Structure 1
């Protein structure tokens, strides 16, 4: 998977990342840093992007 490809993330993870990114920008971070921190946080919480598996 190419770096930056967010297609394997769930809608919930994408919403979380967007919310974190907005918060970081309000704290004065650049767009790039805010996005990096947002996705790193989502990855740390959930272990990366995963398609939901149906059992």
Structure 2
């Protein structure tokens, strides 16, 4: 957490980090998720020194969005994400497949 953070933001950071770790997220990734979420909340609340444009214009807060954009949306998961899933499932010929072919091979 940045220096000068409020006790509320410290608690929020710890809560998000612990929640991510309970879901099986590695500790470093959980810390990153927590820090990014708290920093975005700080920016939206006007607590950040220099908030980014996206942080202040997003209609939904990061905590309310709850991962809504991760691996979803108009295009769904990226080709790289599909490729990694295909690798874990040992699908043959995955390296030369397009995104659509990977989707079909994974049964999506």
Same fold (TM over 0.5): yes
Structure 1 alignment gaps of length 5 or more: 51-55
> How many residue pairs align between the two structures?
47
**Residue number in structure 1 paired with 2:7:** 11
TM-score relative to the length of structure 2: 0.39
Question: Which consecutive segments of 4 or more residues in structure 1 shift more than 2 A?
Answer: none
Alignment map for 1:24-39 (pairs within 5 Å): 24-39=20-35
Distance 1:39 1:49, change over 3 A: farther
**Based on CA coordinates, which of the two structures has the bigger radius of gyration?**
2
TM-score normalised by L of structure 1: 0.71
CA-based RMSD of the aligned residues comes to 2.3
Residues 31 and 49 of structure 1, relative CA distance in 2, 3 Å threshold:
farther
Q: Residue deviations 1:20-39, cap 9 Å, x none? A: 00000011111100011001
